[in-house]
């Protein structure tokens, strides 16, 4: 069940995943309008560089691209965009990210992740949007100990405000799917990394420390695993979900309801590599990619962190006939090559 796509609205378009997705959609011949507030949560120059790359290639390759700088909390500007652009698909990747920062500035998460998210749903239901895709997170699994994480698992015990806002997104999206027949698909990302990555995430932090001869802070004394997922795999899965809106599940059992589907046009999927990597092994691969040893500083577990993540992708693979397949070695070496070039 597909949808003809001509116009896509991507929020968080200057972000790591948003910029990569926008570029891919433009290469496919779609018209894309990007929204981003270019906030200072991390270096805005990196965000501007991502947008500059798209704009430079837009001229050379005749991309149908436009960009607007504002936050999704601004309902009036959002409605103007919807009225003028009439998007077929909305992909919401705008959010206040980060687990530890939510301990310092909780209101930023409520404003962007709850208020802004609801603004987008309100606009989408009023302008005949055919498919609404949004970023959730593996952090919703919180204190769960059973691995791998599956979409059937409970997400009722978040360990950070960031995770709580992502769980809220999933619940709010379901209500709009039910009330307004708006197809909504939530994607739980598992530690996305690669070229143009976020500086606040481990791969970028570790890379900078290794090259600058600074200590790497290794939390929980290195006893952690992450399901590192390469950016190209995430973008491919996103594109395929864009082309396949959620629809009511005819087998949904209201007496034994599952949280990932519904009688409404609603789905939730994991997007992970399904091959979790020990944190110390990841650092070792980074050291090999840079040809340099890291200075390691071991520390206790931080508030809001989870020890292990591991994604079961069976439902996503069945839905779009695709699963992430980039090995951690290939992904890290591609990331390291970009990092050395960009930060030379």
Domains detected in the chain:
7-192+229-274+311-324 (3.40.50.720)
- Catalytic position from the list 23, 42, 162, 176: 162
Q: Find the length of the chain.
A: 344
- What pLDDT shows up at residue 308? 85
Predicted pLDDT of residue 103? 79
Query: What is the predicted pLDDT for the residue at 1?
Result: 47
What stretches of the chain adopt beta strand conformation (E)?
7-11, 31-36, 65-69, 89-92, 131-137, 184-189, 192-193, 215-218, 225-226, 229-230, 266-271, 277-278, 295-298
What lies within 8 Å, CB to CB, of 45 at 6+ separation is: none
Q: How far apart are CA 2 and CA 241, in angstroms?
A: 9
Please report the pLDDT score of residue 99 as a whole number. 75
CA–CA separation, 21 and 12 (whole Å): 10
- The CA distance from 18 to 211, in Å, is 27
Q: Classify 295 in phi/psi space as left (phi over 0), alpha (psi -120 to 50) or beta.
A: beta
- Give the ranges where 243-344 is alpha helix by DSSP (H): 279-290, 314-320, 328-342
Contact of 23 with 8, CB cutoff 8 Å: no
Q: Catalytic residue at 162?
A: yes
State the Rg of the chain over Cα. Answer: 19
pLDDT less than 70: residues of the chain: 1-5
């Amino acid at each position: 069940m597909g949808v003809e796509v001509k116009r896509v609205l991507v929020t968080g378009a200057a972000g790591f995943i948003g910029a990569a997705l926008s570029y891919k959609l433009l290469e496919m011949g779609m018209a894309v309008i990007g929204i981003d507030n270019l906030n200072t949560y991390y270096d805005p120059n990196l965000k501007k560089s991502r947008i500059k790359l798209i704009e430079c290639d837009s001229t050379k390759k005749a991309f149908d691209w436009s960009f607007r700088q504002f936050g999704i909390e601004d309902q009036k500007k959002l409605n103007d965009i919807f009225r003028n652009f009439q998007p077929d698909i909305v992909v919401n990747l705008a959010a206040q990210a980060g687990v530890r920062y939510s301990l310092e500035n909780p209101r930023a998460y409520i404003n962007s992740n709850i208020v802004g998210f609801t603004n987008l749903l309100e606009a989408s239901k009023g302008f005949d949007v055919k498919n609404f895709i949004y970023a959730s997170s593996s952090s919703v699994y919180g204190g769960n100990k059973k691995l791998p994480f599956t979409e059937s698992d409970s997400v009722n015990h978040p360990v950070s405000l960031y995770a709580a806002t992502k769980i809220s997104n999933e619940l709010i999206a379901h209500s709009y799917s039910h009330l307004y027949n708006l197809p909504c698909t939530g994607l739980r990302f598992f530690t996305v990394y690669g070229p143009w990555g976020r500086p606040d995430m481990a791969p970028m932090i570790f890379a900078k420390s290794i090259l600058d001869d600074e200590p790497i802070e290794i939390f929980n004394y290195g006893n952690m695993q992450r399901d590192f997922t390469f950016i190209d795999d995430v973008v491919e899965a996103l594109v395929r979900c864009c082309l396949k809106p959620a629809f009511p599940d005819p087998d949904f059992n209201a007496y034994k309801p599952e949280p990932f589907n519904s009688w409404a046009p609603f789905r939730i999927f994991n997007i992970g590599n399904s091959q979790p990597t020990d944190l110390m092994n990841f650092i070792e691969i980074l050291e090999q990619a840079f040809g340099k040893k890291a200075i390691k500083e071991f520390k206790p577990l931080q508030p809001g962190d989870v020890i292990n993540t591991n994604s079961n992708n069976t439902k996503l693979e069945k839905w779009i006939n695709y699963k992430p397949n980039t090995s951690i070695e290939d992904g890290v070496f591609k990331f390291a090559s970009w990092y050395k070039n960009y930060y030379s």
